[in-house]
Amino acid sequence: MTTRPPPRGPNGPKGRPGPRPGAPTAGRPRTGPRTSARDAAERAAKVRGADAGERAPWIPRAVEDGERPSRPAKAAQSKPAAGKPARTPKKPAQPAGPTRREQRAAASETLASGVQTLTVEADEAGMRIDRFLTARFPQLPFTRVQSIVRKGELRVDGKRAKPNDRLEPGMSVRVPPLRLDQPSERPRSAAREADDAAFLRSLILYEDAEMMVLNKPFGLAVQGGSGTVRHVDGLLAALTGPDGQKPRLVHRLDKDTAGCLIVAKTRLAAATLAKSFRSRAARKIYWALTAGVPRVRQGRVSTYLAKEEPTDADARMRVARHGDEGASHALTYYAMVDQAAQKLSWLSFKPVTGRTHQLRAHAAHIGHPIVGDPKYFSVENWELPGGIQNRLHLLARRIVIPHPRTGRPVDVSAPLPPHMAQSWNLLGFDAARYDPVVDAPED
């Protein structure tokens, strides 16, 4: 008897019998090599359509173009449930750093602070070029203003400007690129402003609608500088009026000089008062305690003064000769009011000009420097009398200036600061004594 090998079915493994022809297969449709005539006709029609240029619905474009098909994203394959919106794919995170729009805005700000051309207004007539910059750019430190002017970076009507140049209405001022201090993001404290306003009002010697005269204390700077945080110019912001106008400085005093300081309340008053100083219509008297007793009790000091270091805004002044670079004429009248034991003198000064450190330099020039002056006191083997403080003994005692609106004289006197009052008491000086410098000439 001959044994035949089991037939190999299309689905059966080798060596195992496949399903009998016509028998059903559990769990899957029947498959076999046979196809019906209908299936063959449909398949042939699809092939003919592809050959004729018609896209078969089951052929992806990538396959048709000869590219390798990519697996579609799972989110794209899944359909949204009924009544729910399709999920929007998340955008990739933006890289850190400024955007293109932010870069353009920064560039615009840089251009905005580039070279500027300003026109002098009518109420700015006669202003010094440094005061003009300070008024136009109040957030610019005064030391920076001085540096710009000193280096000749300004052009007035096309010409290089000098520090003492005066402006007239209609002039064109070309300003170099400025790095302005950004305003603080912190809100101003109402309590701090109230304290500043109360402090300034305690210093007022005279006040009306256009101006006021402050009794500036020893050690308080008039304007800000390197390392100077508290100064009169900054404190004046606390007295800004309802119209938004901040009181303006008209002149300056050294940090350690006490006494009368004029402040204008309006822009027009500031311009008018500044003209009075330039035309020498303002008369000033200073008191000082000096070393030694001058041989000439009343005299006149006329020199040229220049800075020892031209690039330093607070440099020591030296007596120069006419024609020296940066030298300016300085004229001062003085008179001795009283003296103590031939060692100390109470001198009264009437400056005609208003140069930097003029009185301090002139007092040292005549051999009688002011007591407590760290820059100009150079007397050898000189000891400070007991009870007298080693502070600058210089007071802006009195000022007389035409009122900016009425033209009538405003005459204001300041009392001695505490350290000078102490010295006057120790030396037996009477502050009510007649001051002979009052009768000194005005020019």
Active site residues: 254
Q: Which residues make beta-bridge pairs with 299?
A: 334
Residue 17 has φ and ψ, to the nearest 5°, of -70, 140
Count the residues in the chain.
443
How many Cα atoms are found within 13 Å in the side-chain-facing hemisphere of 174?
Answer: 11
Question: In what order do the strands lie in the sheet containing 172-175?
Answer: 116-119, 172-175, 155-156, 159-160
Q: What b/e string do you get for 92-113 counting C-beta neighbours within 10 Å, with b at 16 or more?
A: eeeeeeeeeeeeeeeeeeeeee
**C-alpha to C-alpha distance for 361 and 107, rounded to whole angstroms:** 48
Partners of residue 398 on adjacent β-strands: 285, 413
Sign of the alpha-carbon torsion through 155, 157, 161, 166: negative
Positive or negative, the Cα torsion across 431, 434, 435, 438? positive
Q: Beta strand 155-156 with 172-175: parallel, antiparallel or unpaired?
A: antiparallel
Q: What angle do CA 75, 76, 79 make, to 5 degrees?
A: 85
Per DSSP, the three-state class of 139 is: coil
Cβ neighbour number for residue 250 with a 10 Å cutoff? 22
The residue type of 69 is P
DSSP summary character for residue 244 = S
In whole angstroms, give the CA distance from residue 110 to residue 51: 66
